[in-house]
Amino acid sequence: MKMRGFILNKLGQTVLIIFVVLVINFFLFRIMPGNPVRILIRNPKISAEALQRVTEQFGLDQSKFVQFGYYLRDLCLGDLGHSFVYRRPVLDVIMEKLPPTLLLTGTATVLSIILGILLGVIFAWKRGSKLDVAGLSLSLVLYSMPSFWVGILMVMLFAVYWKIFPLFGMSVPGTSFASIWGRLADLLKHMFLPTVTFTLILIGEYVLIMRNSLLEVMSEDYMLTAKAKGVSGRNLLRRHALPNAMLPMVTLIAMNLGFIVGGAIQVETVFSWPGLGRLMYTALMGRDYPLLQGIFLFVTVCVVGANFCADLLYRYLDPRVKT
Amino acid sequence: MLQIVNRKDRFILLKKNLASFWGIYRRNTMGIAGLVILVCFALMALIGPYFVTYTSAAEGIEKVLQPPSAEHWLGTDDLGRDVFAGVVIGSRISLVVGLAATVISMVIGAVIGIVSGYYGKTLDALLMRLTDIFLVIPWLPLMLVMAALLGPSLGNIILVIGITGWAGTARIIRSQTLSIKERPYVERARAIGSGDLHIMLHHILPNVFPLIFANTILVAAVAILSETTLSFLGMGDPTSISWGMMLHFAFEMGAVAFGAWWWLIPPGICVVLVVLGFTFIGYALDEVLNPKLRRR
């Protein structure tokens, strides 16, 4: 069947991309100037014998291809190396920081998609009105702001000036709560500003694309036909325009995953949110290369995998797509 | 036989096209606003740094972290440096890095797009897989990793932004090349013995150029944002002040908790304005070039 060929083709491409990412990840971290052993050990006064021993232990005396083989084998066993700073396996550290990131990005993504579609439809429907112009300008401004700066503005306004929300973190360290509700309330309070920031960052593009997509659909001939048939108002929008206008959104949401990851790094850094994004920032600051490499690989594989799923979904939603 | 257009005719044609383009563009308020913003910032970056001094205060603590006053329009930072002067000086680095990275992206994107579309077959498949990879890898982590490994310098930042930002352009240029290479004049050029390089340079490049131009505007906006973000996350060159670098220092010194809004807001507003300027122009170009979006 055609669908099966399509899936196999896409799967092949995805595997290829992941393999190339592995190669990039492997060689990128090995073209660094300087002896990798010295970078690994970070002790300038190491003796020659110890240096020799570590070199052999990590297989660094072998050829690059053999090393790449070791690297792949370790990966298959779930070994992403050891973090310099945390002194623990990289995968453990990543898994520990993953839930907060998923919580934050998940909430913000869902919120921004729903609000973005809603607002995009409203603006497109009221095209040229004051509301449309105001909404469009606001979306453009939001789209033009560096993500971290939106976060800084939010903190300054709501946490420093008005003192409504906590400055940073996911909870107040050292506090104990009588009930689960108190704990939840505290979490929500801490989560509010990062989530709003993240939603603001993401929503601009969704609004703009939804509006444009709907406008484009509305200028299609079949819309004119529907209008001529006497379909009007709500029905015209819901039955004829929206299903087609939503298609680009599916691709956009998948393509935006990389952007969401970038946003997470910035928002989590500004709010000291204990997730993967902030972990990457601390790894960068501490020059913790194994951790950095691990996070990069983890994030990339996740995004590539999600893109694969989105491709399949798109094919299912729009049977016209033939490639 | 097809009429051979000589150089002079071509110039007149170009002039006519530009004039009619300007005629439509000029009525686009957004486009003009974007142009005005960018011209202002370009002037600021060109001549501004000669009029300000950005040095640490010698007098001591009372000059540090001061809110805006008549003497310091935008207050002072933690070293007693004038924030307004920083913003003016930072404009030069921010714009230069952004534009240089854009040029790299556009050259890579155009070359890969044209070559891929023109030669087709295996080369096309290979180059497009490469493009896919760059499209799908999350750009900020990739840039951060590369910047961290290459080390903090202006040249590295430009390089990193440049080689991560070309994929979208390559895709668009390729599809346009695919349609152009089937046109009769390309076939004719081949029939009279033109080589591949000649055809790509003289027949395909001029025809995809409007597309390259429209794309440059959008890539530039992204490049400026990328520079700010990379610098903010500590990947910039600490010795050359850009808007992102100012924000990095401000954030690291705790300006947020201190409430030093005069240190945090102006550099950010400059970034937003420049990016908006590019986006406005891009939007206007889209409306001028894509009649579907024009009002019915």
List the structure tokens of A83.
């973090």
Confidence at residue A108, expressed as pLDDT on a 0 to 100 scale: 93
- Three-point CA angle B209, B211, B212, nearest 5°: 65
Confidence at residue B2, expressed as pLDDT on a 0 to 100 scale: 45
Confidence at residue A233, expressed as pLDDT on a 0 to 100 scale: 74
Give the position of tokens 């690297």.
A71
Maximum Cα–Cα distance across chain A: 87
User: CA A112, CA B62: separation in Å to the nearest integer?
Assistant: 45
Which tens digit of pLDDT belongs to each residue from B179-221? 888 888 888 888 888 888 888 888 888 888 878 888 888 899 9
Q: Phi then psi for A47, rounded to 5 degrees?
A: -75, 160
Beta partners for residue B76, in sequence order: B82
User: CA A264, CA A257: separation in Å to the nearest integer?
Assistant: 10
User: CA B47, CA B37: separation in Å to the nearest integer?
Assistant: 16
User: CA B183, CA B188: separation in Å to the nearest integer?
Assistant: 9
Tell me the CA distances in angstroms from B270 to A101, A204, B221, one per residue in order.
30, 19, 12
CA-derived radius of gyration, chain B: 23
List the structure tokens of B2.
């097809």
User: CA B242, CA B262: separation in Å to the nearest integer?
Assistant: 16
User: CA A69, CA A66: separation in Å to the nearest integer?
Assistant: 5
Nearest to A146 among B129, B133, B268 (CB): B268
Confidence at residue A306, expressed as pLDDT on a 0 to 100 scale: 85
Nearest to B138 among A146, A148, A262 (CB): A262
B283 versus B38: the higher-pLDDT residue is B38
Task: Give, as one character, the DSSP assignment of residue B49.
Answer: G
User: CA B77, CA B249: separation in Å to the nearest integer?
Assistant: 9
Domain ranges in chain B are: 32-57+66-293
Confidence at residue B292, expressed as pLDDT on a 0 to 100 scale: 58
* Residue A83: partners with Cβ closer than 8 Å, 6 or more residues away: A89, A90, A93, A283, A288, A290, A291, A294
Please state which of the ranges A152-156, B3-7, B129-133, B265-269 shows the lowest mean pLDDT.
B3-7
Please indicate whether, in this complex, the C-beta atoms of B138 and A257 are within 8 angstroms of each other.
yes
Nearest to B257 among A167, A255, A280 (CB): A167
**B165 close to B218: Cβ distance less than 8 angstroms:** no
Q: Give me the torsion for CA of B97, B98, B100, B105, rounded to 10°.
A: 140
Total length of chain A: 323
The DSSP annotation for B227-259 comes to HHHHHHTT-S-TTS--HHHHHHHHHHTTHHHHT
**Is the pLDDT confidence value at B59 over 70?**
no
**Is the pLDDT confidence value at B1 over 50?**
no
User: CA B92, CA B85: separation in Å to the nearest integer?
Assistant: 12
User: CA A211, CA A135: separation in Å to the nearest integer?
Assistant: 11
* CATH match of B32-57+66-293 with 1.10.3720.10: yes
Please indicate whether, in this complex, the C-beta atoms of A303 and B136 are within 8 angstroms of each other.
yes
**Is the pLDDT confidence value at B275 over 90?**
yes
Written as tens digits, the pLDDT of chain A (323 aa) is 577 888 888 888 888 888 888 888 887 777 665 555 666 666 667 777 777 777 776 666 677 778 888 888 888 887 887 887 788 888 889 999 999 999 999 999 999 999 998 998 888 888 888 888 888 888 888 888 898 999 999 988 888 888 788 877 777 766 677 777 878 888 888 889 999 999 998 898 888 888 888 888 888 888 888 888 887 777 887 887 888 888 778 777 777 888 888 889 999 999 888 999 999 999 888 888 888 888 998 998 888 888 888 888 877 877 776 54
Ranges of H-type helices in B120-166: 121-136, 139-150, 154-164
Confidence at residue B165, expressed as pLDDT on a 0 to 100 scale: 87
User: CA B229, CA B237: separation in Å to the nearest integer?
Assistant: 13
55-114 of A, contacting B, C-beta below 8 A: none
Task: Give, as one character, the DSSP assignment of residue A83.
Answer: -
Nearest to A145 among B133, B257, B272 (CB): B272
User: CA A190, CA A188: separation in Å to the nearest integer?
Assistant: 5
List the structure tokens of B147.
């910047």
Please indicate whether, in this complex, the C-beta atoms of A149 and B133 are within 8 angstroms of each other.
no
B32 versus B80: the higher-pLDDT residue is B32
Contact residues on chain A for B271, CB-CB shorter than 8 A: 144-146, 149
User: CA B217, CA B35: separation in Å to the nearest integer?
Assistant: 11
Q: Percentage of chain B surpassing pLDDT 90?
A: 25
Confidence at residue B98, expressed as pLDDT on a 0 to 100 scale: 92
Task: Give, as one character, the DSSP assignment of residue B68.
Answer: P
Q: Percentage of chain B surpassing pLDDT 70?
A: 92
- Span B57-61, mean pLDDT? 62
Which tens digit of pLDDT belongs to each residue from B150-170? 888 889 999 999 998 898 889
User: CA B106, CA B208: separation in Å to the nearest integer?
Assistant: 12
Which tens digit of pLDDT belongs to each residue from B218-273? 899 999 999 999 999 988 888 888 999 999 998 988 878 877 888 888 999 999 99
Find the helix or strand (DSSP H, E) in which A79 lies.
none
- Span B34-57, mean pLDDT? 85
Please indicate whether, in this complex, the C-beta atoms of A140 and B247 are within 8 angstroms of each other.
no
This complex has an ipTM of 0.84
Please indicate whether, in this complex, the C-beta atoms of B141 and A262 are within 8 angstroms of each other.
yes
Closest CA in chain B for residue A150: B268
Contact residues on chain A for B264, CB-CB shorter than 8 A: 149, 152, 156
List the structure tokens of A230.
């006497």
